[in-house]
Amino acid sequence: AQSVTQLDSQVPVFEEAPVELRCNYSSSVSVYLFWYVQYPNQGLQLLLKYLSGSTLVKGINGFEAEFNKSQTSFHLRKPSVHISDTAEYFCAVTLGGGKLIFGQGTELSVKP
C-alpha cells in the first residue's frame, strides 16, 4: 500500500528566506505526486504535480519540487517566501483510479 510522510508538521521561517517542505512516499510501483496548499478557511489549491517526464516541476507562486525516485521523495521548495505563503501544505500520491493518499500536512508559518 502507498503512504505519504511529511517529515515536518510545522515549519517556521522568516520572510524572504528559502524554505523546503519535505515529503517521502512509499510505493513499489510508479506513482503520481502532488502538492496542494490550503489557506485558512479555504479549500485545497493545486500547487504542482509530477506525472512523468522532467523530475523538476515548477508550480504556481514560485514553488518548485523535485521528484527523486531513488530516495522516494518529492520535496517542495521556494527560494524566497512571503507572508502570504503562510498556509497548510499537503503532499499527496496516487497510483491512479481516483484515490489520493495525503500526508499529514506541514504548517508553514512565515514571520516578518
Partner 1 sequence: DTEVTQTPKHLVMGMTNKKSLKCEQHMGHRAMYWYKQKAKKPPELMFVYSYEKLSINESVPSRFSPECPNSSLLNLHLHALQPEDSALYLCASSQPGQETQYFGPGTRLLVL
Interacting residues toward partner 1 by CB under 8 A: 32, 34, 36, 41-46, 49, 51, 90, 94, 96, 98-100, 102-105
- How far, in Å, CA of 80 to CA of 109, rounded? 13
Report, in Å, the least distance between residue 57 CB and partner 1. 12
- Sign, CA torsion 97/98/99/104: positive
Choice between 36 and 74, CB closer to partner 1: 36
Report, in Å, the least distance between residue 90 CB and partner 1. 6
Choice between 8 and 102, CB closer to partner 1: 102
Report, in Å, the least distance between residue 31 CB and partner 1. 9
- How far, in Å, CA of 107 to CA of 93, rounded? 19
- How far, in Å, CA of 40 to CA of 43, rounded? 9
